[in-house]
Amino acid sequence: MSVRVPSALPILFRAVLAIASVYGCSKDVLNCETGLCPSGFACNPGSGQCEELATTVTSTSGLLGRLSAVRMADGQLGVAAFNSERKSLMWMRESQGDWQPSFLAGPAATAQEAPAGHTSAAVADGDGGVHLAWRRAGDSTLWYAVQGPNGWQREEVPVAVPGTVGAALAIGIWQGHPVLAWRALDIQNVRVARKMSEGWTLETLPQPTALPGDPTAAVDLGRSLALVVTPSGPAIAAYEANRGDLVLATRAADAWNVTRLAGLDPKTGADQGDLGMPVAAALGPAGDLVLAYRDRVHDRVLLARAKSGVFAQELVMDGQREDPVHKTTRSDLLGSVLSVVVLPTGLAVVAAQDASTMRVRVAAERPAGGFVSYDVPGTLQVWPTLVTQPDATAACLWLDLANAARPGSGRLQRWNVPRGGQ
């Protein structure tokens, strides 16, 4: 179904048309405009059509916290989430349009086990396996599980000292082996573990390159972090809290190279804002690294992409919002949760939490540059995450609190991001 709305009509006519379109008329005119599509539709600036919003509500409720979603080898989705009612880590696998839930950790999975899975991370390997890592909050331990032919095999990561595992956690597959990165509370830095056939290895990220003029500055790294594995090795983007900088750690050969990527002038060390809390990462089709991160000072989301070895930064969306009552503009708390994917076309899609309005916003990159932004339909949307679709589009998953059985916990929903950027 499509509704086409002219874009260059006089304001009065457009207003009339908008009203008409809301009530189901005028569905065959050209070129819609954002905000003028009927309820349940969103304007696709690329096609000029109002496209029906596709949302799917799972039957599982009681979810809370960040989602970890992966596209598995069979093309189906898998999502790890914390079930607040059972206080356990839940794994939901999409199957024939339905979702099959199971519990991996916490009292719902193992009797007498403490609540677990408040924070988790997931990744799919090329062999059809899914790897999960999660934190058990009560004793701050780190756990790992892999889904094989015989189901899930889980273990506590032995090299992660109990009591030191922070809430920031990421997982990837490097040379066929799972690699985990987490914030270590005892050293306020990021530790990296890799499971080899002979057991787990452990590393700590070196300090970032010294600040110009302040070479001994203390570092507080990893309150937010993201991990992807590039063709040359793992790359970890992390937030350095003392200076409000985005730090990038890349591994080449046997050494890590850790640099401050944004938030300061690289030559003078002058502060240039508070960037990187949180940060999300994705890989482009050519293995190029793409980072999406929040600018806390200006309430905006930025994207950095490596071009010829140099990161170029651009604006994805900002939190500015009109207040029609006071005729002012205010700024929303935008980007407290971020997710980014890169489509096979090389175009990025970013999902961001607006934590002032509890709405999810998605921005899709246009081939000609810049982003087109969508307000995902609905209310009380939290913890968005993006996945790529088999048809080379993106889907946004989030928790819907509006239709939750109890306050503060929600149901999983999905929206297929329009091909607006194309």
Partner 1 sequence: MTLHVRPHRSLAALTLLLAACTGQPQPLEKPLAPELALPGGLRVVLLDADLPAVADTVRLAVGKTLDVKVPDWPLPTAANGQYSGFTTAAPLDALALTWSTPQHLRLTATLGKMAGGFSLVQTGQAGCGLTWQVDGGSVQLEAEVVRQSDASLAVQLSGAPVATWEGASVSDASACLAKLPPADASSPGDAILAEVTQQLAKRLSAAFLPTVSRVFAASLEQSGRLATVGSVDPAVETRFALKYVEDAAHVALHSGASAQASLAVSVDADRHPCAVDVPLPVAVASPLAQRSPPSGQAFLRRALVIDQALVQRLAWLAARAGALCAQTHHNLTTNLAPGWAADLLPQVDEWIEGPPSSARFWPGSSPTTRLVDTPAGAAVEWTMDDGQLEIIAHVADTEMTVLTVTGGFRATLLPRLQGTHALAFDLVSVERLSTHQSSPLLGDLATPASEAALSTLCEAALQGIFANQAVLPLLALTPGPLPPGTVLTGVDRTGDALWLWLEGGQTP
**Positions in the binding site for partner 1 (CB under 8 A):** 64-66, 82, 84, 118-119, 167, 320, 323, 325-331, 333, 336-337, 353, 355-358, 380, 382-383, 401, 407-409
Question: Mind giving me the DSSP string for 39-104?
Answer: TTEEEETTTTEEEE--EEE-S---EEEEEEEEE-TTS-EEEEEEETTTTEEEEEEEETTEEEEEEE
| CA 409 – CA 401 distance, rounded (Å) | 6
Q: Which amino acid is at 415?
A: W
> With contact defined as beta carbons under 8 Å apart, do 245 and 259 qualify?
no
Q: Which is nearer to partner 1, 108 or 401 (CB)?
A: 401
Burial 177-189 (b: 16+ CB within 10 A, else e): ebbbbbbbeebbb
Shortest distance in whole angstroms from residue 164 CB to partner 1: 16
Nearest residue to 37 via CA among 53, 18, 64: 18
Q: Which position has the token pair 């839940």?
A: 90
Q: Minimum Å distance from CB 382 to partner 1?
A: 7
Q: What angle do CA 82, 375, 12 make, to 5 degrees?
A: 160
Least Å distance, CB 240 to partner 1, is 17
Give least dist CB 189 to partner 1, A: 18
- Minimum distance from CB of 65 to partner 1 (Å)? 4
CA-CA distance, 113 to 86, in Å (whole number)? 11
Phi and psi at 20, nearest 5°, equal: -65, -40
Question: Please, which residue, 201 or 330, has the CB nearer to partner 1?
Answer: 330
CB of 404 to partner 1, least distance (A): 10
In this structure, are residues 292 and 313 in contact, taking their beta carbons and an 8 Å threshold?
no
Instruction: Tell me how far, at minimum, the Cβ of 183 lies from partner 1, in Å.
Output: 11
Nearest residue (CB) to partner 1, 84 versus 147: 84
Q: Which is nearer to partner 1, 167 or 173 (CB)?
A: 167
Residue 110, C-beta contacts closer than 8 angstroms, at least 6 positions apart: none
CB of 169 to partner 1, least distance (A): 10
Angle at the Cα of 86 from the Cα atoms of 82 and 90, rounded to 5 degrees: 40
Residue 166 vs 234, nearer CB to partner 1: 166
Amino acid (1-letter code) at residue 282: A
- Residue nearer to partner 1 on the CB measure, 41 or 398: 398
First to last CA, the chain: 19
We find the least distance from the C-beta atom of residue 331 to partner 1, in angstroms, to be 7
Q: CA separation (Å) from 260 to 96, 248, 264, 275?
A: 45, 6, 8, 11
